[in-house]
């Protein structure tokens, strides 16, 4: 029974992740259609909001609790014990970006 329940949870988690990714895609497309994305930004540069969204989705995908059969408890998907305090290696603050505001 536990196997079915875990498979169900895993399926629900994957559905949630796909829904979040679709929402992120729709948001980025809406920004592009609204004219907030200039052609030179679309070609090689990344908007701050798009970068922040991509970072959030990546961290949510890589660092979430999963069951470890070896340790017999929940651990982070990256392999660290919970709570996992992994930080992103790139500067996320808007002040680090060219022409960015300092908050």
Question: Hey, what are 28's tokens?
Answer: 């980025």
More confident site: 99 or 23:
23
Compute the residue count for the chain: 103
> Is 32 within 8 Å of 3 (Cβ atoms)?
no
pLDDT: is 87 or 103 the higher one?
87
Q: Which residue has the higher pLDDT, 70 or 24?
A: 70
Residue 76, pLDDT above cutoff 80: yes
Highest averaged pLDDT of the listed ranges 27-31, 46-50, 66-70, 85-89: 66-70
Cα(16)–Cα(5) distance, integer angstroms: 16
Grade residue 8 by pLDDT with cuts at 50, 70 and 90: low
- The ranges assigned to domains in the chain are 2-96
Average pLDDT of the residues of the chain:
72
The pLDDT value given to residue 58: 78
28-52 exposure pattern, b = at least 16 Cβ within 10 A, e = fewer: beeeeeeeebeeeeeeeeebeebee
pLDDT value of residue 25: 77
What is the spatial distance between Cα 101 and Cα 103, in angstroms, rounded to a whole number?
Answer: 6
């Amino acid at each position: 029974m536990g196997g079915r329940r875990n498979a169900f949870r895993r399926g629900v988690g994957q559905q949630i992740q796909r829904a979040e990714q679709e929402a992120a895609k729709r948001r980025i497309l809406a920004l592009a259609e609204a004219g907030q994305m200039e052609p030179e930004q679309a070609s090689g540069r990344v908007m701050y909001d798009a970068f922040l969204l991509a970072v959030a989705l990546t961290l949510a995908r890589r660092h979430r609790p999963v069951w470890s059969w070896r340790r017999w408890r929940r651990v982070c998907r990256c392999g660290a014990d919970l709570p996992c305090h992994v930080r992103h290696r790139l500067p996320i603050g808007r002040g680090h970006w060219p022409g960015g505001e300092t908050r």
